[in-house]
Amino acid sequence: MPVDYAHPEEDRFFNFALELVKKAGRLVRDAFDQPSSNVQTKASNTDLVTETDQAVEAMLIKGLAAEFPEHKFIGEESVAGGQKIEYTNAPTWIIDPIDGTTNFVHRIPMVAICVGLAIKKELRAGIVYNPITNELFTAQVGRGAFKNGFPIKSSQTEAVSKAVLLLQIGADRSEKFVNSFIESYKAAMVKSDARGHRSFGSAAINMAYVAQGCVDAYAEYGIHAWDIAAAAVIVKEAGGVVIDPLGSELNVMGRKVLCAGTRKLADELSGMLTHVDFEPEG
Ligand code: LIP
């Protein structure tokens, strides 16, 4: 079937970004092999950044901007440094240089370089690369999803009672937020007797694992566009669903996400979560 392009040069954008991400992977892997990182905190004590996050983001943006001067960027560390989020119709790269920074700092090998591409505010391509485990997830709209070049498919699980779920709590530790997480966890694990619970400490890896079908669904509140943009394309192209936890269409700027291998499972999980409101960003 012919692919419906949002921009005639989309393939060139994607292929160029892919080579850059592979180079960035070498930076992350070399830094990961060092005994420790220089760590700073951002918005809170639980919101970490390292020199490697900053160096990788700078390298990706510099490379992409030199090749595509008219493109825009939304990068985690640039925003942390004070840049405003501007989400326009222009081709926009949404970048998390290391998703799973706490894992990186603690040398837990679940980290991912995330590069998503939106055109006219539609997510068109995603690259999620864990250079430590050598897992490279890629997708472009209409082309399917791949891991290290091989096609991947989300699971066909339709019931929470048969599902391995990922419910994750991020940097926000307000009592209200933590309580809502506990309520959701109890609903899924106690009332609905889910088969299991995992949480990998990286939204992108959680989603990529839903995409490859080894886990069935994932939900998180408080995440940012750079945590989910790239992986959202991968999950959808693998046959899964990515929605707002309340059941409506995903707003990548909405700071919350639910994804699952099937719509039925997504709906059941949505119905049991204690929902939290966030002000959309951008
Ligand atoms: C992190 C996410 C993680 C989430 C944290 C944070 P970072 O991103 O991947 O899943 O729980 O709130 O957003 O800061 O490591 O790039």
Residues of the chain with CATH 3.40.190.80: 160-271
Per-residue pLDDT tens over the stretch 87-132: 999 999 999 999 999 999 999 999 999 999 999 999 999 999 999 9
Matching CATH number, 9-151, of 3.30.499.10, 3.30.540.10, 3.40.50.300, 1.10.10.10 = 3.30.540.10
Strand order through the sheet with 122-130:
72-75, 92-99, 112-119, 122-130, 135-140, 144-147, 150-151
Question: Facing residues of 129 across strands?
Answer: 113, 136
Give the phi and the psi of residue 93 in degrees, each rounded to 5: -90, 125
CA-nearest of 221, 158, 169, 222 to 192 is: 158
Residue nearest to atom 11 of ligand 1 (CA): 170
CA atoms of 189 and 259, how far apart (whole Å): 17
Please give the C-alpha separations between residue 161 and each of 118, 189, 213, 239, in angstroms, as whole numbers. Answer: 35, 9, 16, 21
CA atoms of 234 and 207, how far apart (whole Å): 8
CA-nearest of 32, 36, 6, 11 to 118 is: 6
Is 96 assigned a catalytic role?
A: yes
Residues of the chain with CATH 3.30.540.10: 9-151
Question: Who contacts 45 (Cβ-Cβ below 8 Å, separation ≥6)?
Answer: none
Q: Is 101 in the pocket of ligand 1 (CB under 6 A)?
A: yes
Question: What is the per-residue pLDDT for 196?
Answer: 97
Q: What torsion do the CA atoms of 248, 138, 126, 15 make, to the nearest 10 degrees?
A: -150
Q: What's the average model confidence in pLDDT over 35-41?
A: 90
Helix axes 203-211, 225-237, angle to 10 degrees: 0
The band of 1, judged by pLDDT with boundaries at 50, 70 and 90, is low
Question: Exactly one of 57, 99, 172, 268 is catalytic; which is it?
Answer: 99
Q: How far is the CA of 228 from the centre of ligand 1 (A)?
A: 10
Question: Who contacts 125 (Cβ-Cβ below 8 Å, separation ≥6)?
Answer: 10, 13, 14, 17, 116, 117, 138, 139, 140, 141, 230, 233
Q: How far is the CA of 263 from the centre of ligand 1 (A)?
A: 25
Q: How far is the CA of 102 from the centre of ligand 1 (A)?
A: 8
Could you tell me the pTM of the whole model?
0.97
**Domain over 160-271 is classified CATH 3.40.50.300:** no
CA-nearest of 55, 166, 170 to 102 is: 170
Is 98 assigned a catalytic role?
A: yes
Per-residue pLDDT tens over the stretch 161-216: 999 999 999 888 889 899 999 999 999 999 999 999 999 999 999 999 999 999 99
